[in-house]
C-alpha cells in the first residue's frame, strides 16, 4: 500500500473509532523492577511462547494493510530482547509504505549502544521512562537500575538525531518534589516531559492509594507558578499537551484515572505472546498468534474484524480505599503501558 492509498477495510470499532496505532510488546522481561509496574520478584513467560520476529512482522503487516499508520515497540524493556534490531529493521522497511511512524518506549538502560542503529532503521523519536534524577531515589524506584547508563543513553539518542521525550510517573510522596526540576532539566535539553498517573495494574507491593497523585491537582499547582498554554499537538497517544512559557518546552499529561481519554481511543496492544488487548484497563483480547499459525493471513484478517466487534468503550479504573486492589491481575509490563 502506498502512503496515499486508503485501506480498503479500515479498522473501525463498534463505537466508530478508527484504530491507527498498534503498540507491540516484544518481551515481558525487563532489567528494572519499577515499583509502579512490576513486583520485585517476577515470573516471566517461557521464551518458547514468545512471538518470533517473523510472526510479529506478519501481524504488523495485517494491521498496516488495514490502516494502522503508527507502531510503537514496548516491553517490558524492548531493548533487552535478543537481536531486537533485526525486528526494528524489518518494521522500518514499512515506513513510507503505509506506515508513517515507528517509535519506541524504553527505560534507557540499553539505549546508548542501540541509538545509532535505531535512527538508521527509521526511528526518529523515542520515549524514555525516567522518574527521578536522584541516584539513590532512582535505585529505590527501579529496585535495581542505575541512573548513569540511562543518562548516557539519552545523550547518545540525541547525538544520533533521535528526538527524546521523557515519561515520568507522578507519585505522591516519592517524586512529586522532582516534577518541576525534571521539567526544567528536560526542557533545558530540548526534550518534552509527559507526566503519567499511576494505574492499578498487577500486584506491585506498594500502596497505590497513598502514592496516587491526580494530575488535575498537579496541573492547577503548576498553573499558579507557570504560564501554561494548551496545545492542539497530538502524537497519536492519549497525552494532552501544554506549552510552558517560562521554560519554552512542552509538558504532557496522561490521566487514565482522573480524566479518561477513551472517547478518542485509536490504539490496541499486542503482547509478546500474540494476545491483542483492546483496552489497557479491560481483559478483552483476541489471540492473533493462534489465528496466524492456524489460518495465515485470512484468519488473521478475520481475527482483526472480531477484535473491532468486541473492543470495549473504555476502562473503568477506580483507586480509593474501597478499591485498593489492582483493577486487573496482569502487570503493566505485559502490555507495555
C-alpha cell recorded at residue 67: 490502516
- DSSP structure class, residue 51: P
CA nearest 44: which of 58, 33, 55? 33
Q: Residue 256 is placed in which grid cell?
A: 487514565
116 annotated ligand binder: no
The number of beta carbons lying within 10 Å of the beta carbon of residue 63 is: 27
262 annotated among ligand-binding-site residues: yes
245 three-class SS? coil
267 is annotated as contributing to ligand binding: yes
Q: Is 74 annotated as a binding residue?
A: no
Q: Are 170 and 179 in contact (CB under 8 A)?
A: yes
Answer whether 119's CB lies under 8 Å from 160's CB. Answer: yes
Residue 23 labeled ligand binder: yes
User: Is 279 assigned a ligand-binding role in the annotation?
Assistant: yes
281 is in an annotated binding site: no
Query: Any known ligand binding at 161?
Result: no
Residue 46 C-beta-side C-alpha neighbours within 13 Å? 2
**For residues 271 and 278, what is the distance between their CA atoms, to the nearest angstrom?**
11
SS3 274: coil
- Known binder of ligand: residue 18? no
336 is in an annotated binding site: no
Cell 508513517 found at: 100
- Nearest Cα neighbor of 80 from 147, 134, 25, 127 is 25
Query: Is 199 annotated as a binding-site member?
Result: yes
Q: Is 255 annotated as a binding residue?
A: no
Does 37 carry a binding-site annotation? Answer: yes
Query: Is 81 labelled as part of a ligand binding site?
Result: no
Question: Does 268 count as an annotated binding residue?
Answer: yes
Torsions phi, psi for 249 (to 5 deg): -115, 180
Known binding-site residues equal 23, 30, 34, 36-37, 72, 76, 105, 129, 165, 199, 262, 265, 267-269, 279
Known binding-site residues for GTP equal 23, 72, 105, 165, 267-269
Known binding-site residues for S-adenosyl-L-methionine equal 36, 76, 129, 199
Known binding-site residues for [4Fe-4S] cluster equal 30, 34, 37, 262, 265, 279
Amino acid at each position: 500500500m502506498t502512503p496515499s492509498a486508503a485501506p480498503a477495510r479500515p479498522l473501525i470499532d463498534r463505537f466508530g473509532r478508527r484504530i491507527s496505532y498498534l503498540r507491540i510488546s516484544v518481551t515481558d522481561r525487563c532489567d528494572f523492577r519499577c515499583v509502579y509496574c512490576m513486583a520485585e520478584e517476577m515470573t516471566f513467560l517461557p521464551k518458547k511462547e514468545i512471538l518470533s520476529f517473523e510472526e510479529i512482522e506478519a501481524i504488523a503487516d495485517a494491521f498496516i494493510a488495514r490502516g494502522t499508520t503508527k507502531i510503537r515497540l514496548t516491553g517490558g524493556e524492548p531493548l533487552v530482547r535478543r537481536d531486537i534490531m533485526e525486528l526494528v529493521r524489518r518494521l522500518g522497511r514499512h515506513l513510507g509504505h503505509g506506515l508513517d511512524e515507528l517509535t519506541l518506549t524504553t527505560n534507557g538502560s540499553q539505549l546508548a549502544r542501540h541509538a545509532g542503529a535505531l535512527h538508521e532503521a527509521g526511528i526518529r523519536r523515542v520515549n524514555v521512562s525516567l522518574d527521578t534524577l536522584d541516584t539513590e531515589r532512582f535505585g529505590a524506584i527501579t529496585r535495581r537500575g542505575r541512573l548513569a547508563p540511562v543518562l548516557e543513553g539519552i545523550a547518545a539518542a540525541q547525538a544520533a538525531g533521535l528526538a527524546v521525550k521523557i515519561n515520568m510517573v507522578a507519585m505522591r510522596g516519592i517524586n512529586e518534589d522532582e516534577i518541576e526540576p525534571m521539567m526544567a532539566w528536560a526542557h533545558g535539553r530540548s526534550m518534552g516531559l509527559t507526566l503519567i498517573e499511576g494505574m492499578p495494574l498487577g500486584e506491585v507491593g506498594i500502596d497505590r492509594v497513598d502514592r496516587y497523585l491526580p494530575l488535575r491537582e498537579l496541573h492547577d499547582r503548576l498553573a499558579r507558578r507557570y504560564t501554561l498554554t494548551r496545545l492542539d499537538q497530538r502524537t497519536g497517544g492519549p497525552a494532552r499537551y501544554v506549552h510552558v512559557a517560562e521554560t519554552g518546552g512542552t509538558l504532557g499529561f496522561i490521566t487514565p484515572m482522573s480524566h479518561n481519554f477513551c472517547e478518542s481511543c485509536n490504539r490496541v496492544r499486542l503482547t509478546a505472546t500474540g494476545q491483542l488487548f483492546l483496552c489497557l484497563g479491560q481483559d478483552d483480547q483476541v489471540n492473533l498468534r493462534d489465528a496466524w499459525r492456524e489460518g495465515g493471513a485470512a484468519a488473521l484478517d478475520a481475527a482483526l474484524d472480531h477484535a473491532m466487534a468486541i473492543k470495549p468503550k473504555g476502562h473503568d479504573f477506580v483507586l480509593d480505599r474501597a478499591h485498593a486492589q489492582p483493577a486487573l491481575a496482569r502487570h503493566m509490563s505485559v502490555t507495555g503501558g
